[in-house]
Amino acid sequence: MKFSEIVQKLAIHLPDSPAVSTGEDPEITGVTAVDEATPGNLSYIEGGKFADRIAVTAATALILPMNPQLHQQASDRGIAWIATREPRLLFAHAIALFYQPFRLQAGIHPTATIHPDATLGENVAIGAFVSIAQGVKIANNVCIHANVALYPDVEIGEGTVLHSHCTIHERTRIGKGCTIHAGAVIGSEGFGFVPSRAGWVKMEQSGYTVLEDRVEVGCNSNIDRPAVGETRIGENTKIDNLVQIGHGCKIGKNCVLAAQVGLAGGAKLGNNVILGGQVGVNNQVTVGDGVIASAKTGITSDIPPGAIVSGFPAIPNKQWLKTVVLSNRLPEIYQSLKQLQRLLGPKSN
């Protein structure tokens, strides 16, 4: 499509009238990274530190930050551009103009097994070998890909997509516009065993698992249901692949959990929390609103709102950075200490 047409479509995502230079209004055939662009591609520049890419990119059009110098550089090279305060965000919307994920057409595959007591809304798509048990309620425009299993008493909200081989256990409530990726397991039994003289006694997990609207769960992640009460994932929270969320956890709105994060039972995250890859959170620990934990952080006690933490156990990020610098110098410090001990003699030991 023409660049001017793209600008028109993207303008709805901008708060103000955009700064634009359409040049000769080139034809745009796709989107790609600025370093990999070829003629006909639209790409983006995140900020001034990437300014040198403008001089070498083969992109025909760019999404730029609000930087007049970058605008001029693009214009001098004959590159069409649109400027915004959040280039990466606008580029995300641009990708959606050229690509939409595969979605099944509405209808029920003949190999699907659906209990007669299940309720299906309008325009529902159900793929091959899907199993839908008693009491399941599926709202309008839900898409269920092949080999998905829905246990009894499951509710799926409008427009939600369940990808192949995910499993939704009993007493699970999934909201509107959610995406559950391949292999994820939602509402499985929490790890509940009580010690007795005869050994471990299983505590049945009779609670509920609730995913609010627009939650996304990555491939092979797991969210457990509790013995009583509920495990709840807040609205618009995004969960990466290979994440474990224990029974009874409460996660707020707009959180992001990267791959291999693990939350022990009863952990609580506030709103807008970001956990980097392989972060671990102890059971019953509370992490406040807006907390950021860098990769491999071990959170063993409550973290106040707004903190940025790193390390194991978690400490303030700035303190951790200083500790890492000193840690890298330990061999040098040790040698200096040995030299000092030799100078002072044996009495100093």
List CB contacts of 259: < 8 A, sequence separation 6 or more: 218, 240, 241, 242, 243, 277, 278
- Collapsing DSSP to helix, strand or coil, 178 comes out as coil
Choose the catalytic residue: 71, 145, 163, 247.
247
Q: Is 317 exposed, middle or buried (0-12, 13-18, 19+ CB in 10 A)?
A: middle
The verdict on whether omega for the bond into residue 313 sits within 30 degrees of 0, i.e. cis, is yes
Q: Say how many Å lie between the first and final Cα of the chain, rounded.
A: 78
Clarify whether 247 is annotated catalytic.
yes
Cβ 81 vs Cβ 75: under 8 Å:
yes
Bridge partners, 162 (sequence order): 144, 180
Structure tokens at 83: 């400027």
Chain centroid to Cα 260, Å, comes to 12
Q: Is 83 exposed, middle or buried (0-12, 13-18, 19+ CB in 10 A)?
A: buried
- Pairwise CA distance, residues 102 & 247, whole Å: 32
**Residue 312 DSSP class:** T
- Pairwise CA distance, residues 303 & 286, whole Å: 6
Active site residues: 247
